[in-house]
Amino acid sequence: MNDYLVNTVTHGFGAFEKATGVRNKDTLTASGTLNTGIFRAFLALRIALKIRTAAICYNHTVTLTLFVGKSMAPVAAAPSAAKNGANTNFKDKEKSGSVRSSNIVAAKAVADAVRTSLGPRGMDKMIQSGNGDVTITNDGATILNQMSVIHPTAKMLVELSKAQDIEAGDGTTTVVVIAGALLDAAQKLLVKGIHPTAISESFQRAAAQAEIILQNMATPIDLANDELLVKLATTSLNSKVVSQHSWLLAPMAVNAVKKVLDDSRPDNVDLKAIKIIKKMGDTVEESEMIEGALIDQKTMGRGGPTRVEKAKIALIQFQLSAPKTDMENQVIISDYAQMDRALKEERQYLLDLCKQIKKSGCNVLLIQKSILRDAVSELSLHFLAKMKIMVVKDIERDDIEFYSNILGCRPIASADHLVAESLGSADLVEEMSTGGDGKVIKVTDIQSSGPAVSILLRGSNKLVLEEADRSLHDALCVIRCLVKKRFLLPGGGAPEMEVACKLREKANERGGAEQYCWRAFADALELVPYTLAENAGLSPIHTVTELRSQHANGHSNYGVNVRKVRKG
C-alpha cells in the first residue's frame, strides 16, 4: 500500500474539496496508484483555476504541489517529503542548458578525434585494442568502432558513422565532422538566446534546401563509361593506407559490381553477392577476381579427390553422422551384443546415405556447418573417399545463399530430396594453395552461375590485409551508390562550399531567428574544406576565403586540391 500525500492552498481549496472529498493535508491510501476519479477531478480544478502543479516521487510517495495566483508562489512541501529530501520547487532552470551543453561537448570531442583523418592528406590512426591487437586505418567508421565511448550522445555519433558506412560505404569521417560542426553552431545560437526548437526546425529546413542545391549541381553519368567509374573508385581509395594499389583495386571493384547487376533491379546492387576471401601471404598486387566461386575451406582428404573435372556439386544442410538422441532420451547398452548391433546399424545408416548421394550423380559435396554434432563422421568420409566424392564441410549458414546462387545448386535439407536436378555443374573444382597452410576451393567454368562473384584478397600481414578489405569495401559501396543515383558531385569540399554560399543567399530571404540559424548552418559546412586544407598543410583561412570568392562568382566546382585551389 502506498501513501499519497496531497498538499493544497487556501485559494480554491473549497472547489477541490468538493470535487475530490479530500481535506487539506489529508492522506490518501490506494493500492499502487492514485484513485483515477480523484486525479481527473484534480486536473479539472487545475485547468479551471489556472493552477500550475509539480509532482515529485520519493520512496513511493507522490507529492503534488500547487502554485496559485500571479506570484505563483509555491506552497511548502509536505513534512514527509521534506524529511526525504524532496524539493518540489523546480528552480534549476539552468539544468536543461547544462545537459545540452554536456551533450554537445561529448559529440564535438568525437568529431575532433576523427577530423584529422579527413581527406587524402589526413593522418592514419594506430589503435590498440584491449587484447593487444593493433589496427592502422583512417576509416572513420573503423576508428569510432574501436573507440571505447561511454557518453550516450557520443555513441549516437558512432552509430551515425556506422549507418553511413552501411548505406554509402564512404564518407564516414565527413558525416561525423559535419555533425560536430552543426552542434557547435547550435551551441553558439543557444548562447544568443534562440530556442532549441527554433534551431532544430531551421536546421531541418536548411538541410532540405541543401539537398536541392546538391541535386542541381550534380552531373549525370553513364554506367557504360568504365574509365570514369574507375576514376571515381580510385578517388575513394586515395586516402587509404593501400592507396598505392588503387590501380588494381579500383577496376576490380567496378568489374565486380557490374557483374552482379540484376536486370530486374537495375537501381540497386546487392553487395552480399560479392564474396571477399582474405588470405595472408604474397602482396596486395596478387589479389584477383575469380570468374567462378571461392570457398574458404579445404577438402577433408581421407584419400578423397582434391581435383574434380566435370563436377556435379551438391549443397546439403543435413549431417552425415550417426543420429543422436534428444536431451530427454538416452540409449542404454547392457552387453557387447547390443553394442555390436548399434555399431552395425550406424555403419549401415551412413553407408545408405553415401549411396544415396552417389546415386544422384554428385561428385563434389558441400556440407553446411552444424553446431549440434559433427557435420560428417570419419566413417562417412571413408565411404565418400571410396566413391571418389570430394567433400568440403563447415560451409557457414550465412554463405549458403551465396553459394546456391553462384553454383546454380539448390540447398538440400534431406537426403530423400537429393536428385540430379538439384545439383550445380562446373568444369573444374580444385583445391588451391595460398601459401603456408592456407588453402581454398576454386570452382571455375560454372554452367549456370547466378549474379555473384568472388574476390581473393592477399596481403603480406594482417594489418595490410584488413585495411585492404576495408578499402575495397568502400570502393564497392561508391560504385553501388553511382548505380543507385546515376549522378556524381565534385570533391575537395566543393559541394559543401557551394551549399554554404547558396544558403547564405537564401538566408537573406528569411526573417527573425531563422536567418541566424541558416547562416550558422552554412558556416558549419565550411569546416569540411577548412579541414581538408588544414590537413594538407595549406592555410585554411586563406583557402576557404578564396573558395568563397570563387563560388560567389559562379564557379561551383572549385574545391581544395592539396596544393592549390582549382577546378575539381
What are the cell numbers at 480? 553501388
In whole angstroms, give the CA distance from residue 112 to residue 180: 8
Neighbours of 77 (CB within 10 A): 20
Q: How far apart are CA 189 and CA 515, in angstroms?
A: 11
Q: What is the pLDDT of residues 504-516, one digit of tens each?
A: 998 888 888 889 9
Q: What is the pLDDT of residues 50-60, one digit of tens each?
A: 444 433 333 33
pLDDT of residue 436: 65
Contact 223, 229 (CB under 8 A): yes
**Cell 574501436 belongs to residue:** 146
DSSP per-residue letters across 420-458: GGG-EEEEEEEEEE-STT-EEEEEEEETT--S-EEEEEE
- For residue 355, the tally of other CB atoms under 10 A from its CB is 12
Spatial separation of the C-alpha atoms in residues 419 and 423, rounded to whole Å: 7
Superfamily of domain 98-218+491-567: GroEL-like equatorial domain (1.10.560.10)
For the chain, first and last CA: distance in Å?
A: 73
The Cα 287–Cα 228 span in angstroms is 22
In tens, the pLDDT along 271-313 reads 888 889 988 878 888 888 888 888 888 888 777 888 889 989 9
User: Residue written as cell 492514485?
Assistant: 34
Which cell numbers in the block locate residue 102? 554536456
Q: Give per-residue pLDDT as tens, 227-270.
A: 889 988 888 888 788 888 889 999 999 999 988 887 677 667 88
pLDDT digits (tens, 9 = 90+) for 365-414: 998 888 766 778 888 888 888 899 898 888 888 888 888 888 888 898 88
Our CA angle for 183, 185, 191, nearest 5°, is: 105
Name the amino acid, one letter, at 477: C
- Name the residues annotated as catalytic: 139, 172-173, 474
C-alpha cell belonging to residue 343: 555399431
Poorest-confidence range of 181-185, 339-343, 365-369, 373-377? 373-377
Domain boundaries, the chain: 2-91, 98-218+491-567, 226-281+469-488, 289-459
- Sign of the torsion formed by the C-alpha atoms of 391, 392, 398 and 401: negative
Task: Choose among 540, 463, 524: nearest CA to 121.
Answer: 540
| CATH no. of 289-459 | 3.50.7.10
Task: Give the pLDDT confidence of 431-460 residue by residue, as tens digits.
Answer: 888 876 678 888 888 887 777 888 999 888
How far from 564 is each of 118, 195, 471, 539, 568, CA to CA, in Å? Answer: 17, 41, 27, 10, 11
* Whether this model's pTM surpasses 0.95: no
